[in-house]
Amino acid sequence: MKPEILAVLLIFIGFIVLEIIFTQFFAKPQQTKDDAVVEVIGTLMLTVVTQPLVILGGFTIASLIAPDAQDMLKSWHFLSVFTLFLVFDDLSQYWWHRISHMVPWLYKLHRPHHNANYLSIRVVYRNNIFYYFLMPGLWFSGALIYLGGAWAYASYIVIKMAVIFGAHSDVRWDAPLYKIKWLSPIMWVVERTISTPSTHSAHHGKHASDGVTNYKGNFGNLLFFWDVLFGTAKIKRRYPAEIGVENLPETTAAEQLIWPLVNVTPMPKATPDLGAKP
């Protein structure tokens, strides 16, 4: 096993242990039987099948388009290659995520991520299988690895996944830091740079009327800076009272995982605004 994969796995397990100790990891509030099915299958499919295949696909396409360009990035400075991943993976994922909340059929692929009534490390990889097959950042990452960026990607993916795991976990690591007055200027920078439990939980909030929820914003994955830059940031240093979706018809585990192969609910005319009452 590659060191970066082992590191990501250990961080993932670490958050599981923290949630077992400090939260109800196995019995989240309002959890349904479908939740566990979607989370287990979705996580296994992404990590074992989808992500490796898509990255390999990006690698292969790049080799066909630019057969003489392999390993050209090996002579570049680390920060330059790292920045390429920030742009072509993280920034592209910001826009992919944002567009998925604007286009109805893309939202059908992304809805499983919001369908749980809780936040948790369990939710990180909770998406329709085809959502990841279509994610541009994974294809771009494969191409950059072909171009010689693997050595920088190893560090990048560990940092990115550590931030994403921390932002989704209901072990709110930022909450005690907000209470320390002398840390406030530092946290001001941190919460505008990377995703935190506070800023990302706002994206998963159920009711816009709570003053915290920002379902139509806070899209950032590693860098929350993209939300600041493109005007979709909402920073309150608080957490929504409720997590989930409303005003949507009931769905099934199969539809969540493999829509459009299984189609139970009608296509919405527009993506849902969770703050609007029917």
Classified as helix, coil or strand, 29 is coil
N- to C-terminal Cα distance for the chain? Answer: 50
Structural domain that includes position 240: 3-15+32-258
CA distances from 148 to 4, 58, 91, 210 (A): 16, 13, 20, 47
Q: Is residue 67 part of a domain?
A: yes
Res. 92: pLDDT tops 50: yes
172 within a domain of the structure (yes/no): yes
What pLDDT is recorded for position 272? 59
Task: Answer whether residue 267 is part of any domain.
Answer: no
Query: Measuring CA to CA, how many Å separate 53 from each of 41, 123, 128, 133, 149?
Result: 16, 22, 16, 8, 18
Number of domains in the chain: 1
The reply to whether 26 falls in a domain is no
DSSP tag of 205: B
Where does the pLDDT of residue 274 fall: very low under 50, low under 70, confident under 90, or very high at 90 and above?
very low
Confidence of residue 189 (pLDDT cuts 50, 70, 90): very high
184 lies in some domain: yes
Query: What pLDDT does residue 278 have?
Result: 30
Q: Which of 160, 139, 277, 147 is nearest to 222 (CA)?
A: 160
- CA 185/CA 190 separation, integer angstroms: 9
Query: In this predicted model, what pLDDT tens digit does every residue of 217-231 receive, in sequence order?
Result: 999 999 999 999 999
Q: What local confidence, expressed as pLDDT, does residue 271 receive?
A: 64
Q: What is the mean pLDDT of residues 239-257?
A: 91
Q: What's the number of CA atoms in the CB half-sphere (13 Å) around residue 206?
A: 13
Q: What is the pLDDT of residues 68-78, one digit of tens each?
A: 999 999 999 99
Whether residue 268 is contained in a domain is answered as no
Q: Is position 266 within any domain?
A: no
Residue 275 lies in a domain: no
